[in-house]
A and B are shown apart, each in its own frame.
Chain A
């Protein structure tokens, strides 16, 4: 499967090989070492070694890639066949209870009883995470507000829309103030608007709530927007583990759009020694970013010509651009 890939790709983000038993890794919420899990003849995870930093980590893979199996191992609910994993410095094989006290989990499947209200249910789940009753009630009210459930939280869950249910599922994973939440396909079944809201919410969990997130999806595109780090697995094998900033680094090209006088500005820039490429439209072009002076040249040129500068934007690579050739390469190898 990975024969077509550069063998260094999979391990490029943790070249500084550390002790396997390195406890409580600063800045790393999840450390997986040589993890293999088989179900009879099926290998769900194969020799998986990966580290997930704090912040939002996107776990990408097709259905059946082993994402859910990995989450179950991390929760201490499934024993590894070989190898091991540590979550927040705790061993998944032996310290499952301690891990589950500090970790929140939002399952992929439908998991809410219809005959209780969101408030009742989340209070119950908060107690089930070890919170005293009074704290459970207080934090439930807070958490439901944070995920965007207001008056409807007193109605039975049976009458909720998919979007509201997803919010309740998210709330029960956050209510006990975990250090890390594992979100399994949180955007499943949501319409585009709901999807964007959920993604924004997930980003807030990391930035505003300071809770680390591991979020799975089979859609790379939606995770690229919110993740700080991406882990791609396929058929239980690590394909890539990379920080999103690295992957979407600036491409060194500036997109410029002006209201008028595009050709004149292009001529001026060329005269100044910049590499300019037309980008189709008369008033839109891209400039090779040879140095900081290019920005000044564009700005000054536009000012001198008296044209409005609509946009001056550094282009980023999209993750899909980066992964696509490799995916195709892998397919060819197949």
Chain B
């Protein structure tokens, strides 16, 4: 390219020297300095090749994960895509804020809600958040045919699934962990014993981490089978709410009929109950909504294995689903 660049200049000066017959010098310059279409060359710096570093799968998956997290919060998307997640995040953060403010003003001596009870009390809002985010993560790429572009990149199909799952789970965890941390701030402002509060907070963080994994898995599975974003949102929210409602009814019936053991295992069918049960048996905290959970290590074992199995099954279904996706 650089060897060609002086040519138009030379031709132009030759032309200006003989303005009456500008075509003549250009033509006579032709054979000596071949093929320089004047004007085209000056501004066109040409296609630049890239000889630098190209990262492998690790970077590609990380990039997809980061893009997913950004997208869940509406970053890099139009303003209207930012409304829902941030309204819900605001709602999720209001209770800890209110508690902190109330404590500050009234000088109370206990948190209105425990770290592990908090997710259960915000069940609806959390469900709405994941219902809005999961279809963005996967339905969009399915519906608009973006999968072939991802598949033609240096990564595997399962990498896509893991990046999307990781991105959604991390996003959910970030929001819930922030709320937990606000609760901790409130507690510390109240001058409650720091050690005990930190332990409680750590338990809360663990609880929301498990919850984020389970909810992300379930929501992504539903979203991966619904191409339309709206349908995906509706399917996830109804799924989570219906399951929650049905489980409540079943528990009530089981108690009524005199099967307290059955009733104590039933909450495991609801993601929020499952996580709360694990927290209660693992950390020895108070259950949310004063639900009864199976006693002893067996309860923890059952609830724990069920949580692991749920996440594993969701990932397996997703990976299987994506073996056939994308028209490629």
Seen from chain A, the residues whose Cβ lies within 8 Å of a Cβ on chain B are 72, 75, 77-78, 97-98, 100-101, 103-105, 107, 109-116, 120, 124-125, 127-132, 135, 139, 142, 146, 156, 172, 176-177, 208-210
A109 to B145, CA, bound (A): 7
Q: Are B149 and A209 in contact (CB under 8 A)?
A: no
A77 to B155, CA, bound (A): 11
Set of chain A residues within 8 Å of B67, measured between Cβ atoms? 124, 127
Given A78-B328, A130-B56, output 12 extra A-B contacts at Cβ < 8 Å.
A101-B154, A110-B145, A111-B144, A113-B141, A115-B77, A115-B140, A130-B59, A130-B154, A131-B50, A131-B55, A139-B50, A177-B50
9 inter-chain pairs at a CB distance below 8 angstroms, sorted by A residue, are A109-B145, A120-B76, A128-B64, A129-B54, A129-B153, A130-B55, A142-B48, A176-B54, A177-B50
CB distance from B85 to the nearest CB of A (A): 14
B46 located at the interface, meaning its Cβ lies under 8 Å from any Cβ of chain A in the complex:
yes
A78 to B323, CA, bound (A): 11
0/1 per residue, B58-72, Cβ < 8 Å to A?
011001100100000
Set of chain A residues within 8 Å of B310, measured between Cβ atoms? none
> Which chain A residue shows the least CB distance to B150?
A128
Q: Are A172 and B149 in contact (CB under 8 A)?
A: yes
Q: Are B76 and A107 in contact (CB under 8 A)?
A: no
Set of chain A residues within 8 Å of B54, measured between Cβ atoms? 101, 129-131, 176
0/1 per residue, B127-156, Cβ < 8 Å to A?
000000000000011001111111111111
Contact A112 B55, CB 8 Å, known A100-B154, A128-B64: no
Q: Are B146 and A75 in contact (CB under 8 A)?
A: no
A104 to B148, CA, bound (A): 11
> Which chain A residue shows the least CB distance to B50?
A177
Contact A111 B149, CB 8 Å, known A101-B154, A116-B76, A139-B50: yes
B158 located at the interface, meaning its Cβ lies under 8 Å from any Cβ of chain A in the complex:
no
Q: Are A113 and B153 in contact (CB under 8 A)?
A: no
Set of chain B residues within 8 Å of A139, measured between Cβ atoms? 48, 50
A125 to B146, CA, bound (A): 10
Set of chain B residues within 8 Å of A78, measured between Cβ atoms? 328
A104 to B141, CA, bound (A): 19
B2 located at the interface, meaning its Cβ lies under 8 Å from any Cβ of chain A in the complex:
no
Choose one: A105, A127, A132, A142; the contact of B148 (CB below 8 Å).
A105
- How many residue pairs between the two chains, A and B, have CB atoms under 8 Å in the bound complex? 106
Contact A114 B55, CB 8 Å, known A101-B154, A107-B149, A130-B60: no
Set of chain A residues within 8 Å of B78, measured between Cβ atoms? 115, 156
A112 to B328, CA, bound (A): 16
> Which chain A residue shows the least CB distance to B149?
A111
> Which chain B residue shows the least CB distance to A182?
B152
A115 to B63, CA, bound (A): 19
Q: Are A132 and B50 in contact (CB under 8 A)?
A: no
Set of chain B residues within 8 Å of A209, measured between Cβ atoms? 47
Q: Are B77 and A111 in contact (CB under 8 A)?
A: no
B81 located at the interface, meaning its Cβ lies under 8 Å from any Cβ of chain A in the complex:
yes
Q: Which 10 A-B pairs have the closest CB atoms?
A: A105-B152, A209-B47, A177-B50, A127-B63, A130-B54, A107-B148, A101-B154, A111-B145, A130-B55, A128-B153
Set of chain B residues within 8 Å of A75, measured between Cβ atoms? 151-152, 328
Task: Kindly name the residue among B46, B53, B81, B148 whose own CB sees the greatest number of chain A CB atoms within 10 A.
Answer: B148
Q: Are B328 and A129 in contact (CB under 8 A)?
A: no
Set of chain B residues within 8 Å of A115, measured between Cβ atoms? 77-78, 81, 140
A72 to B326, CA, bound (A): 11
CB distance from B166 to the nearest CB of A (A): 15
Contact A113 B146, CB 8 Å, known A131-B54, A132-B53: yes
